[in-house]
Chains A and B, each alone.
Chain A
Amino acid sequence: MKLTIKTDRYALNASCGCTKGGTNACGITYRTGQ
């Protein structure tokens, strides 16, 4: 059994640019939409 993990440092300013939010919920706008 090989156990691996992926870790990244998250950027606080990574979102669509809207300053109202803070959960990155709409960030997928920039990936595939819904």
Chain B
Amino acid sequence: MKKMEFTGGVKLQPGVFSRSYSPREGKSVSVAYHTPSQSITFLEDDSAEVWKRLYESGGETAPALDYILKNGTFEGDPQSEAKEVLLSFVEQLRASHLLNSPGTPSIALVETSQAECSVKTAVSQTENMELEVSQFMADHRMLYSLVVELTYRCNERCVHCYLPEETRLKELSLGQIDSLLGEFASLGGFMILLTGGEPFIREDFIEILSLVKKYGLVTSINSNLTLLNDRILEAIASIHPRSVGVSIYAGRADLHDAITTNKGSFEKSVNAIRRLRKAGVPVIIKSPLMKSTAPHWREIEALANDLGCDYQFDLSITAKNDGKLSPLAQRVTDNAVLEDIFASRYYRLYVNDEPMSAMVGPSPETGLCGAGASGLCISPDGVIRPCIGLTTPIGRWPENSLDEVWRTSPFFSEFGAIRMNEITPCNNCSDFKYCSRCPGAWHAEHGDYRKPSSYSCTLAHAWATVQQR
């Protein structure tokens, strides 16, 4: 018989964030992040309940043990069997970076538990837990994520930018952002993106970071990083962000600076990335690829490797949010360049031998996209939209609360009812499963999210050509 001894409490790791949900129907679930190790953990039913008690008590084992004793069934001594169950669970949580121990092991095991540990640690090639969680939230109509465009002001003037040239809006104040984030968190919101414009241009950006900390949000930040200073760096590191995304358009200064039209911007951005990485902040280089930069995409890959960053390419240059088409001149149209990019490993993630989007075809069940499924976007002046990529206004905060918009806007049922098999020419397209469609981009280009951009077809065809070789 195994014998265990608790010698003290356990501690939450720094950088752990969690939310628990109790849907009206179905099991309780918890989602937990440990952002320094880029890990996400999903717990259901009793596991979610026990974790919730550990998390909310800051690692105290008594409430968790109490739950197990009240809800478990035991063959022998309930106390020792409950402790064994908890011990095994705590070991799994430690393996997932959610718990550590203060000094010497906080739970002493006299004889080793043989409990099975179901922890996976490698990046899965066949599934994506973040997407599964988003799907779960969508299925339960939970507002889970929020994109906050803090400002449209920016110190760069990128040639492809989707934001209108007029960027002076009456921006939400710090107090209003406090209320907004509080409301979001009270509704169960968990993931947030702070973006712009250039968010660092706001003089209260550091105070905004302290607000996301106050509400325990898993936070991503998009920035060009050129305005990073010691104080912002320290504040970013202190909130343990999920990631900092930085726009890098080329692997060398001349090409990059020609896109930003800001001489010296490449050097500033790259230096800032080095500083963030040194501070242990996960950084992802985000590269919208354009006519002038796409042939040189491997230089960006090499730079990202050198800097210890992840990277993401984006071929979907879109019209401006106000419908102006000037960015479209930057699109990559050279098939040889497109096929070179689509042949790279970045377009083979997550589904064994096929690209991720091959998971669905234009069946009667396939909706337009996930805009508004589990998240919202808010413009600097409080306009609420279903997605950062879709400018259709569905409310205005604070006149309309997030909850009111989420529950009552007719957009969700109207948009959600549209099926891809109603969209021409998608319903007869053999390349559909390779299509990175974005109805928001279609809306920007044509004023109609049901009217595809022919550029979606160009990209899908290039990807399909590569995959079918």
Contact = CB atoms under 8 A, between A and B. Distances in A.
Interface of A: 1-34
Interface of B: 37-43, 46-47, 50-51, 68, 71-73, 85-86, 88-89, 92-93, 95-96, 116, 118-124, 127-131, 134-135, 138, 144-147, 162, 191-193, 195, 220-222, 242-243, 245, 247, 282, 284, 286-288, 310-316, 346, 349-350, 356-357, 359-360, 365-375, 387-389, 415-416, 419-420, 436-438
Given A13-B310, A30-B131, A34-B416, A21 B369 contact: no
A33 B420 contact: yes
A23 B367 CA distance: 19
A5 to B, nearest CB: 5
B432 to A, nearest CB: 12
A15 B147 CA distance: 15
A25 B387 CA distance: 8
Contacts of A10: 38-40, 128-130, 242
Contacts of A11: 38, 123, 128, 310, 349
Contact of B193 (A22, A28, A31): A22
B92 A23 contact: no
Contacts of A28: 131, 134-135, 138, 370, 373-374
Contacts of A16: 357, 369, 436, 438
Nearest to A25: B375
A17 B92 contact: no
B312 A5 contact: no
Contacts of A22: 147, 193, 195, 220-222, 242-243, 245
Contacts of B416: 34
A9 B123 CA distance: 5
A30 B389 CA distance: 16
A22 B195 CA distance: 9
A34 B368 contact: yes
Contacts of A19: 245, 247, 286-288, 312, 314
A14 B349 contact: yes
A34 B316 contact: no
B149 to A, nearest CB: 10
A5 B145 contact: no
12 contacts: A8-B124, A11-B38, A18-B316, A18-B436, A18-B438, A22-B193, A26-B369, A26-B389, A29-B369, A30-B131, A30-B357, A34-B372
Given A11-B123, A11-B349, A20-B162, A1 B191 contact: no
Given A1-B46, A26-B373, 15 more contacts: A1-B72, A3-B50, A4-B92, A4-B118, A5-B92, A6-B41, A7-B96, A23-B147, A24-B131, A25-B371, A29-B437, A30-B360, A32-B367, A33-B368, A33-B419
A33 B121 contact: no
Contact of B147 (A7, A8, A21): A21
Contacts of A27: 128, 130-131, 134, 370
A24 to B, nearest CB: 5
Contact of B220 (A7, A8, A18, A23): A23
A6 B118 contact: yes
A14 B348 CA distance: 11
A12 B282 CA distance: 9
A33 B314 CA distance: 21
Nearest to B85: A1
B132 to A, nearest CB: 8
B39 A5 contact: no
Contacts of B121: 7, 9
Given A3-B88, A5-B47, A10-B39, A24 B145 contact: yes
A26 to B, nearest CB: 4
A4 B43 CA distance: 7
A15 B123 CA distance: 14
Contacts of A13: 284, 310-312, 346, 349
Contact of B373 (A1, A2, A8, A25): A25
Contacts of B242: 10, 22
